[in-house]
């Protein structure tokens, strides 16, 4: 059940981001969704692939490189576009 709820909320977030990107882009505001990766936290568990420092560093680098073409995208901490 936990996975179904997570997937439902993720789909809703993706749609809101896409819609906001269309509405806000003409005002110079970029709306994107960021994927932090599988992070070793209480929620991510001990088998996660990266630590929080790696995730945050990557997310900051992605945010610094955003441009108008990024609007509405789902982008990983590695800077890769995540397919919807």
Q: Cβ atoms within 10 A of the Cβ of 27, count?
A: 7
**Which residue in the block uniquely carries the two structure tokens 């505001």?**
29
**Residue 84 pLDDT class (50, 70, 90 cuts):** confident
Predicted structure pTM score: 0.83
How many domains in the chain? 1
Please check whether residue 84 lies inside any domain of the structure: no
Determine the average pLDDT of the residues in 47-76: 96
Q: What is the pLDDT of residue 10?
A: 85
Q: Cβ atoms within 10 A of the Cβ of 77, count?
A: 20
Provide long-range contacts, Cβ within 8 A and 24+ apart, for 17-21.
17/72, 17/74, 18/72, 21/71, 21/72
Please check whether residue 83 lies inside any domain of the structure: no
| pLDDT beyond 90 at 5 | no
Q: What is the pLDDT of residue 45?
A: 86
Q: What are phi and psi of 50, to 5 degrees?
A: -135, 165
**57: domain range?**
2-76
Determine the average pLDDT of the residues in 29-34: 96
Please check whether residue 82 lies inside any domain of the structure: no
| pLDDT beyond 90 at 28 | yes
């Amino acid at each position: 059940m936990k996975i179904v709820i997570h997937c439902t909320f993720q789909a809703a977030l993706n749609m809101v981001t896409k819609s906001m990107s269309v509405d806000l882009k003409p005002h110079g505001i970029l709306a994107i969704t960021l994927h932090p990766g599988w992070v070793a936290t209480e929620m991510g568990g001990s088998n996660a692939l990266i630590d929080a420092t790696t995730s945050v560093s990557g997310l900051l680098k992605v945010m610094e490189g955003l441009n108008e073409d990024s609007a509405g995208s789902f982008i990983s901490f590695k800077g890769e576009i995540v397919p919807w």
